[in-house]
Structure 1
């Protein structure tokens, strides 16, 4: 598992020093609004211990990175990539992101997701990635639309979540269109 960067960010594997940011994210009602009920502090510490262990053993089924400011190393949030198995033959890769409330709305989510998707396609050789998000999360819906993510035909729908899929080809098309205009 590698560290990767953007213009403003360093996205690095979860480490012991990240317990505070991890717990702050999972116990924050605003951050958890579209995910689940906020954890209590002990639940967040337990979840951190599990994710740290998976990161340390380099479990490729679940990778968690910490998003930090490139210039002052302030932690802004976390990004995760995990593999779910729909059945014995079908593995589904999903990406997720959580930012502290003070960093929401500043394009950090877009920047992080672009870099995480590029890393996933280029370094992990994934062919497609899913976004699973609460239907009320307008910001994630807008990002999926911007990335040209499509409804995932392999995923089971429910009334609470939307599931969008982006392929390597579709993401390259997005990058070419987006950055050719900038």
Structure 2
């Protein structure tokens, strides 16, 4: 089942068999530098399970990002409920395998998720929670039309909250 398509990508729900591809992304220290630590296999399995639960509970979550040309899973992107400063917000989150960095895939997937959130789900605001040192993710948020709204202490450290609203 395809959730959404962009020019070069499609996003679909996680499958159990995605674990090894996602583990190759989430276990990489460079990819996960802004997380407390890279994921082990069990954490990756739990990541998939948690998002599958989100699909059932919220109707969305992080989805697998696949190249249309090859059907290869290259990362994830999607919508996740987060509590920021006591308010429920919906975040666009993403991870792309580092061998595909600097090709615009994160921006393309994030833009697709923004359009899905606004047009399909009727949301009026979306955010991205970004470590202030994560310049590539800040660029993705800005290319997606998001602007820095504030800084918040979340996930045990300070993060920039970038936001976009329906125009």
Q: TM-score when scaled to structure 2?
A: 0.86
SS in 2 for 1:135: coil
In the alignment, is the contact (CA less than 8 A) between 2:110 and 2:144 conserved in 1?
no
Question: Where does residue 113 of structure 2 map in the other structure?
Answer: 116
Matches within 5 A, 1:24-103: 24-55=24-55, 58-60=56-58, 63-86=61-84, 90-103=87-100
In the aligned structure 1, how far is the partner of 2:90 from the partner of 2:7? 26
Partners of 1:166 and 1:25 in 2: how far apart? 27
How many residue pairs are counted as aligned between the two chains? Answer: 165
Q: Is structure 2 residue 2 aligned with structure 1 residue 5?
A: no
Q: Partners of 2:8 and 2:30 in 1: how far apart? A: 24
Is residue 140 of structure 2 the alignment partner of residue 143 of structure 1? Answer: yes
Q: Structure 1 regions of 5+ residues with no counterpart?
A: 170-182
Q: After the TM superposition, which parts of structure 1 deviate over 4 Å for at least 4 consecutive aligned residues?
A: none
Offset at residue 75 of structure 1 (A):
0.6
The separation in 2 between residues aligned to 1:52 and 1:145, in whole angstroms, is: 29
Larger radius of gyration: 1
CA 1:128–1:91: 2 relative to 1, 3 Å: same
**Separation of aligned partners in 2, 1:87 and 1:2:** 33
Which is richer in helix? 1
Please tell me the root mean square deviation across aligned C-alpha atoms, in Å: 2.3
Unaligned runs of 5+ in 2: none
Correspondent of 1:104 among 81, 94, 101 = 101
TM-score normalised by the chain length of structure 1:
0.80
- CA distance in structure 1 between the aligned counterparts of 2:51 and 2:6, rounded to whole angstroms: 24
